[in-house]
Amino acid sequence: MHRLTMNTTRSALMHMLSGLLLMGLPTLVLAQTSASSGQGIYTCVDAKGRTLTADRPIAECVDREQKVLNPSGTVKAKLGPTLTAHERNELEAKERAQLEEQARLNEEKRRNKALLVRYPNKTVHDQERATALAQIDVVKQAALRRSEELTRQRAPLLEEMEFYKKDLSKAPITLRRQIEEVGQSLAIQQRFIADQDAELKRVNARFTEELHRLTQLWAQQAGTAAASKSR
């Protein structure tokens, strides 16, 4: 009778232990799976204020941040909200604009540095302006001299043409051709002179714009040097 009671008790204990093991088995398997996969555990607070946990991204939290936890419970990573196509396009456009602005700033810094190297002071800048304008003026003066020469060549031809003013058809073909050729050459020189005048204005405006920028850069450079000396 005593042996029967002991057997019954032992059987009950074994049954209880088996039940406990079976209850803990899914948790153990999940922990082992998470640890072996290395993906971590996702957790978030949904729109209803509930804290949700899963072994993969949580569908109820696609519109909010999700945390990826290590098996120890520390934060491994953060998963941002899933964006719509429109939101993704806006984000990409914003990122492109930021990259373009940064590229513009970098290019501006490069140009400013090059300007300071080329023109360390106003005297150097003024000298280069004068040289550039003088070179254009030399070309313009040559065109003016050529234009004056053509005007002198045309004068006697026009005087000769006066004899035929009542009937220009009677003027010799050679004379008419000479007047036409000189007139075309004179027009070319006049257009060239106009181009040189425009180039003078353009170059002068460029140097004026550069000087305005350089004045600021020289002041900044002087301020930085003074600050360095005072330290």
Q: What is the pLDDT of residues 113-125, one digit of tens each?
A: 999 999 999 999 9
The answer to whether the beta carbons of residues 78 and 65 sit under 8 Å apart is: yes
Rg, Å, the chain Cα set: 45
Domain membership of residue 102 (yes or no) is no
Among 18-32, 69-83, 96-110, 190-204, the minimum mean pLDDT is found in 18-32
82-91, 148-157, 197-206: least confidently modelled range: 82-91
Q: Residue 183 is part of which domain span?
A: 108-223
> What pLDDT is recorded for position 39?
67
The greatest distance separating any two alpha carbons of the chain, rounded to the nearest whole angstrom, comes to 161
Residue 23 lies in a domain: no
Last residue of a domain, one of 97, 119, 137: 97
Domain end call among 97, 120, 143:
97
Does pLDDT of 195 surpass 90?
Answer: yes
- 82 phi/psi in degrees, rounded to 5: -75, 125
Residue 153 phi, psi (nearest 5): -65, -35
Question: Looking at the structure, do residues 128 and 207 belong to the same domain, yes or no?
Answer: yes
Which pTM was predicted? Answer: 0.57
Predicted pLDDT at 129:
97
pLDDT greater than 90 at residue 145: yes
Q: Quick one: pLDDT band at residue 99, thresholds 50, 70, 90?
A: very high
